[in-house]
Structure 1
């Protein structure tokens, strides 16, 4: 277990990252890549529906794009930990350029074929998962430990920005010409590939490059064993999964509330953009809270805040107040997402970060799927007022569990001891990496030397 609850472990200031060339290259490359993927996500839907007039056909492509979240996560995490991260990210970019480029060419030639789109959507999403897992783990090798919080916050802000800009950009590009969203995505992945080629630092610790024994299933099992063995990590993941289910109810509930209040679909769109903006603001300011409260208090505080805010949706008098409550909830989500991902990546050693990240994403995907089913059932079987009160009551239970799981002096002392052990482990890893780099530096001058005389 790492120093996830220790305030000083995340005391870096976001501004210091601007001088870190390799981090900026990774950040920009992953950001434009995510922007391209967001553009294609809406591009597939528009292309299929407008080409066929079939909502079922459009849903099949969406299903193909979402399926990797359930079937690719675990093997991707194990493989990312085994493979060289830089090479993995390069190959993922090249694969996406080829796959999406084939769609752009097919659309330009007016030869759209549904099975082709489904295969490309699945391949693109699978490669995107591998890329994201590798990039998320690699970031911790290009920033010092006191900037982990700032780097994670910057990455979460980037994800929110891609969500805000990507789909509107894809819609606008499709209106210009049908192949444009896919051509745009190809360009974004090319830029991502180029930025990655200019990163100088090694993206893995020396120990992580060792060829560990065992097959794919054994490595996946090792990841699960590690996560289950970490008491506080296990508790945190349980809280995140439970709250994700409720967020699915809130998402569908927002549509129902707007309709009941006499709003229109554009109103829903505006509120979703506002939520994304506040989520990004929460991520951007998360390092402030991390430095002062630490992850343990953030987990308790955000869950308590949600328990107070969610029941208010049942009592809010109008869309303005409802929008403000949703915005505050998503502001807390931005902070919580940074704290949660930082928790996981700090808890896991370098050679397990891909698997730990994949397990988290699998739990999130599973919770979102269950939440979507629960949301439809709940909102169809009762009034929106009762549904929001049920959500608020469930969130209250989750908040109590958060306080019981992470509150108290004894738990703070345990995590402080974890902080000291983690600092020792990181120092040893940095010494090993420095020794490896020194060895390479000593070997380089000997290359090309000729005997004297």
Structure 2
């Protein structure tokens, strides 16, 4: 139990909660560095080798930990001191980035080193983010949790918006500079975390078991959450669809002779929409039930995807992607609040890891399937097929017994009102 939660003292306002502010600032710098290198790794591989296949391999190595390391990573986060784990991961990421920067700036590129560095950084950042998400409920009161997660989501979206232009801008000066910047950002983040004094988890008297047993416990826990299980299944489908949609739009714009800058504009506007959505998420959570948020969001995504089939103009596409990002920002905050509220403190790491694994583990399938569709039927029909699948997902969610359970699910962000909630 933190100082803000002790009965003898009134809750410390979130803006004065030193430990949360240190965590928020440190993780923000680490995320900015991570987003910068996530863009720079495949780009630098392409520039250094001239091979798109090599760039794809490096990008795959960076994302592979999301599939391979989630479950053991979640169990590790629940076993270890989360603050110390974040410090170790940040220091490791700084060393990896500095090594890649030195290699690129010296002109000595060795593909195995680049692949190993990408996999190592992906693993370290995955552990860092799992530990950070698990630590938030231990540092704030239950009443402050929605506001804290809104701030976290807004910070994450801002890092995504800024990471790509920083990475591309620095790469235009020298190929190793994005990695040097990321390494310095990681070092700066360590200074914030070192100043946090409170524990990043509550004490637990539950005995430790084998790593495999604790991983199974996380999977069993998620299976027992009826509403969450149904929602994560729907989110897994939408993540695949949006990965495919991104590829279809890039292919269409390239065929129309649009520049890479135009494609980057669409991506940036999507991030801006997500940032605004995360800031407005608390309001939607107070107005609507969880079921309404899920079903309405899926319907809105379907409506927004259909016109993409006939639009190739960067600004128009950017507006549609910004609206889609807005819905995604609301979704992420609502899901984070729900998960942090219902998962026991000693299982926060595993709960987050299982949800991320199920929700995002299949994302690589999206571009793979879409690539075949693009060759077979073209970009416009591919987008319409993806839209149809999104519509079916929305319809199934609307009639799903698990999603229906969200209509009465208690939500920590909802205000009790005398009058009926118009969204319920």
TM class, shorter-chain normalised? 0.7 to 0.9
- Equivalent position of 2:297 in the other structure: 302
1:80 Cα deviation (Å)?
A: 0.7
- For 2:22, which of 5, 22, 25 is the aligned residue? 25
Task: Give the distance between the partners of 1:295 and 1:19, measured in 2 at CA.
Answer: 30
Task: Give the distance between the partners of 2:54 and 2:222, measured in 1 at CA.
Answer: 39
The 1:144–1:384 alpha-carbon spacing in structure 2 relative to 1, beyond 3 Å, is same
Counterpart secondary structure, 2:115 = helix
Task: Give the distance between the partners of 2:216 and 2:326, measured in 1 at CA.
Answer: 35
Conserved in 2, the CA contact under 8 Å of 1:282 and 1:335? yes
Does residue 375 (structure 1) correspond to residue 381 (structure 2)? The answer is no
- Equivalent position of 1:238 in the other structure: 233
- For 1:67, which of 64, 76, 79 is the aligned residue? 64
- Equivalent position of 1:228 in the other structure: 223
Does residue 192 (structure 1) correspond to residue 189 (structure 2)? The answer is yes
Task: Give the distance between the partners of 1:24 and 1:202, measured in 2 at CA.
Answer: 14
- For 1:158, which of 155, 158, 174 is the aligned residue? 155
1:245 Cα deviation (Å)?
A: 1.5
- Equivalent position of 2:120 in the other structure: 123
1:7-26 aligned within 5 A: 17-26=14-23
Q: Count residues in correspondence.
A: 400
- Equivalent position of 1:86 in the other structure: 83
- Equivalent position of 2:138 in the other structure: 141
1:102-121 aligned within 5 A: 102-121=99-118
- Equivalent position of 2:198 in the other structure: 201
The 1:23–1:410 alpha-carbon spacing in structure 2 relative to 1, beyond 3 Å, is closer
Deviation per CA, 1:308-331, whole angstroms, max 9, x where unpaired? Answer: 222233355965444322221221
1:296-335 aligned within 5 A: 296-314=291-309, 320-335=315-330
Conserved in 2, the CA contact under 8 Å of 1:223 and 1:355? yes
Q: Please identify the structure whose Cα radius of gyration is greater.
A: 1
Task: Give the distance between the partners of 2:378 and 2:104, measured in 1 at CA.
Answer: 44
Task: Give the distance between the partners of 2:260 and 2:171, measured in 1 at CA.
Answer: 20
Task: Give the distance between the partners of 2:208 and 2:99, measured in 1 at CA.
Answer: 38
The 1:326–1:348 alpha-carbon spacing in structure 2 relative to 1, beyond 3 Å, is same
1:46 Cα deviation (Å)?
A: 4.1
Task: Give the distance between the partners of 1:277 and 1:143, measured in 2 at CA.
Answer: 27
Task: Give the distance between the partners of 1:112 and 1:206, measured in 2 at CA.
Answer: 46
Deviation per CA, 1:58-107, whole angstroms, max 9, x where unpaired? Answer: 33322221111111111101111111111111111122222222223334
User: Which structure 2 segments of 5+ residues have no match?
Assistant: 1-12, 413-424
Conserved in 2, the CA contact under 8 Å of 1:36 and 1:184? yes
145-154 or 398-407, which moves further after superposition? 398-407
- Equivalent position of 1:340 in the other structure: 335
The 1:344–1:380 alpha-carbon spacing in structure 2 relative to 1, beyond 3 Å, is farther
Conserved in 1, the CA contact under 8 Å of 2:292 and 2:407? no
- Equivalent position of 2:400 in the other structure: 405
Deviation per CA, 1:127-176, whole angstroms, max 9, x where unpaired? Answer: 11111000001011112112222222221221221111112212222333
Counterpart secondary structure, 1:24 = helix
Conserved in 2, the CA contact under 8 Å of 1:82 and 1:212? no
- For 1:264, which of 240, 259, 264 is the aligned residue? 259
Deviation per CA, 1:323-353, whole angstroms, max 9, x where unpaired? Answer: 3222212211111122223232222111111
Task: Give the distance between the partners of 2:402 and 2:80, measured in 1 at CA.
Answer: 39
Instruction: Normalising by structure 1, report the TM-score.
Output: 0.82
C-alpha RMSD of matched pairs (Å): 2.4
The 1:139–1:243 alpha-carbon spacing in structure 2 relative to 1, beyond 3 Å, is same
The 1:223–1:57 alpha-carbon spacing in structure 2 relative to 1, beyond 3 Å, is same
- Equivalent position of 2:10 in the other structure: none
The 1:99–1:146 alpha-carbon spacing in structure 2 relative to 1, beyond 3 Å, is same
Counterpart secondary structure, 2:131 = helix
Task: Give the distance between the partners of 1:124 and 1:257, measured in 2 at CA.
Answer: 32
Conserved in 2, the CA contact under 8 Å of 1:133 and 1:358? yes
- Equivalent position of 2:98 in the other structure: 101
The 1:400–1:42 alpha-carbon spacing in structure 2 relative to 1, beyond 3 Å, is closer
Instruction: Normalising by structure 2, report the TM-score.
Output: 0.87
The 1:144–1:105 alpha-carbon spacing in structure 2 relative to 1, beyond 3 Å, is same
Does residue 384 (structure 1) correspond to residue 368 (structure 2)? The answer is no
